[in-house]
Structure 1
Amino acid sequence: MLRTLREEHALVRARMGVVAVAAALAMAACMPASTGDGERVDDRPSPTPTSTATPAPAPAVDTTAPASAEAVGTASAAVRDLTVKGRAPKTGYSREQFGDGWVDVDRNGCDTRNDMLRLRLTDRVMSGECKVLEGSLADPFTDSTVRFVRGGASEVDVDHLVALSDAWQKGAATWDFAKRVAFANDPLNLEPVDAGANRAKGDSDAATWLPPHQGYRCEYVARQAAVKAKYDVWITAAELDAMLRVLDQCPGHELPGPGDQPVIADNVGRAPDAEPTPRASPSRATTGEDALDPDLGTCKAAKAEGYGPYVRGVDPEYDYYRDGDGDGEVCE
């Protein structure tokens, strides 16, 4: 019996020792730890509490969009990277230096002007796959709806956002002909717009003309910057200031990508020094070799009498009428 009691006392003491060790370990866990160099963690400034929630995974990068279609930085940064120089003389400039009218540069079977009209116009009336006869335009220059009627009183022009003569005076005079044709037919540099606003613009740069619709000005200047960067066209100091003033109103506005069209055109059409191919005008009067059709004032009136079309450089009557679409043919 005595032996049994002693054994029980020993077991109790052993159990108490285990409890003491556990308590000691618990106290040690609560005491400040050493950093290993004598500095205690609790002597350091307390870190700012942070959420214990599991952070969301980083969004996946979309690699499906072609790089040429994406923005490539900010427009203001691109403007600052452009070369700044004075304007060169306009000597030698003509529209023909950029190709004979609108060229099917991408060889899709349609000329560039019709490509742009098909892209931007709604409620279109077509002749075949390419030729746009009528349509409505949401004009970015004036923020209004404009009606296009081919061969009549059209109120739509396809504008070169960077005017051809402006480019000529800022580098294009020294380019190869194929580069000028590419420039004149690049969708990045083209926009169907209200004809009146386009003619008010003329060959102005951003220092002397901006679209009346202020909500479009950032995009307008960004597109000009993208075109000038792609083709290495310089800007003047006044132009630099004007472009940055616009872009200050829209910090972070993205620069459009350069697009898919190369800067050297594969299809250049007819070179400016090529002789026009003679052809008999279907409207030429037959009463004499040199007889001309009458000037009826408008193409609408001429067509009503069975006259037209007239081709630039071939038919003298071409000069009677306004070539609103700039395709080298009137009263078509």
Structure 2
Amino acid sequence: MKDKTIPRRSSKALTLVTAVLLLGGVAGCGAVESAGTAVAEAVRRAVPSVGSDKPAGNPADVSAAIARLAAIPVKGRAPKTGYNREQFGPAWADVDHNGCDTRNDILARDLTGETFKPGTHDCVVATGTLADKYTGKTIRFVRGADTSSAVQIDHIIPLSLAWQTGAQQISEEQRKQLANDPLNLMAADGPANSAKGDKDAATWLPPNKAFRCEYTARMTAVKAKYKLWVTRPEHDAIQGILAACA
């Protein structure tokens, strides 16, 4: 159980691109836990970036992402053989041991005006409003069998893609961290998330162009953090977006 004397949510004051920069030079899986704590907290406080049809990014942030991309190996996709969701641990595990599963942590981080199901110690999100980064739309979230799917939790680097670009070679615990890392997770419009599936940046980008700088910067951060590689088309697509952001 969470200590209810500790505020559940802090103010959402940082941009996600700034959160990405907190990774700094972290590129090794041995540093996942220590780096993840700082990044998760920064991402938890972040505000959505929606409402413009043009890519936008802080030049320093974009330069850092470009440098990170240059250090990520470029290889072909490995076979998908052996992939299943269980390779990344139980879905929405409570990896930060705050008493709440990861799905509800991300909903509470990304929604505004959220309410919680009574008796869950402010863990289970019941309602809230999402300023969706993928589409730029405002979506009302209401928990329920017929309504919850309007807002889904997306992996910025899909787990299937991660498996084919290096996650087979990291440990089971590191894959579990990857699947539940706030840096790699975002509440998103359900249909947009379904359309994305397990596509990489070469085959799918957010319809909301204003989010593409942040989206690709986070991709490079996750890839670097977990020692994943990029394919040539994926590399070129990310590089092109970041160049436009600069």
Question: Structure 2 length as normaliser, TM-score?
Answer: 0.72
Higher helix share: 2
Q: Aligned-pair distance for 1:192?
A: 0.3
Paired with 1:185 and 1:102, the residues of 2 have a C-alpha distance of 6
Q: What's 1:114 paired with?
A: 104
Output aligned runs, 1:1-332, within 5 Å.
Answer: 68=38, 74-127=64-117, 128=120, 129-151=122-144, 152-154=146-148, 155-251=150-246
State the one-letter code of the partner of 1:153: T
Paired with 2:141 and 2:183, the residues of 1 have a C-alpha distance of 21
Paired with 1:149 and 1:181, the residues of 2 have a C-alpha distance of 28
State the one-letter code of the partner of 1:78: R
| SS state at 2:211 partner | helix
Paired with 1:89 and 1:72, the residues of 2 have a C-alpha distance of 31
| SS state at 1:130 partner | coil
Higher relative contact order (CA 8 A, sep 6+): 2
Paired with 2:62 and 2:183, the residues of 1 have a C-alpha distance of 14
Paired with 1:141 and 1:72, the residues of 2 have a C-alpha distance of 19
| SS state at 1:196 partner | helix
Q: Aligned-pair distance for 1:146?
A: 1.0
Q: What's 1:39 paired with?
A: none
Q: What's 1:47 paired with?
A: none
**Higher gyration radius (CA):** 1
Q: 1:72 to 1:177 in 2, by over 3 A?
A: farther
Q: 1:91 to 1:225 in 2, by over 3 A?
A: same
Paired with 2:112 and 2:222, the residues of 1 have a C-alpha distance of 26
Paired with 2:76 and 2:151, the residues of 1 have a C-alpha distance of 32
| SS state at 1:249 partner | helix
Unmatched tracts of structure 1, length 5 or more: 1-64, 252-332
Paired with 1:239 and 1:80, the residues of 2 have a C-alpha distance of 12
Note the alpha carbon deviations across 1:128-179, whole angstroms, 9 max, x for none: 3100011110000000101212223220011000000000001111222111
Question: Structure 1 length as normaliser, TM-score?
Answer: 0.54
Identity of aligned residues (%): 53
| SS state at 2:230 partner | coil
Paired with 2:236 and 2:110, the residues of 1 have a C-alpha distance of 31
CA contact (8 A) 2:156 2:218 kept: yes
Q: Aligned-pair distance for 1:90?
A: 0.5
Q: What's 2:13 paired with?
A: none
Paired with 1:116 and 1:241, the residues of 2 have a C-alpha distance of 30
Q: Aligned-pair distance for 1:77?
A: 1.1
CA contact (8 A) 2:75 2:232 kept: yes
State the one-letter code of the partner of 2:194: R
CA contact (8 A) 2:65 2:220 kept: yes
Paired with 1:122 and 1:190, the residues of 2 have a C-alpha distance of 17
CA contact (8 A) 2:73 2:229 kept: yes
Paired with 2:213 and 2:170, the residues of 1 have a C-alpha distance of 29
Note the alpha carbon deviations across 1:42-70, whole angstroms, 9 max, x for none: xxxxxxxxxxxxxxxxxxxxxxx997458
Paired with 1:107 and 1:124, the residues of 2 have a C-alpha distance of 21
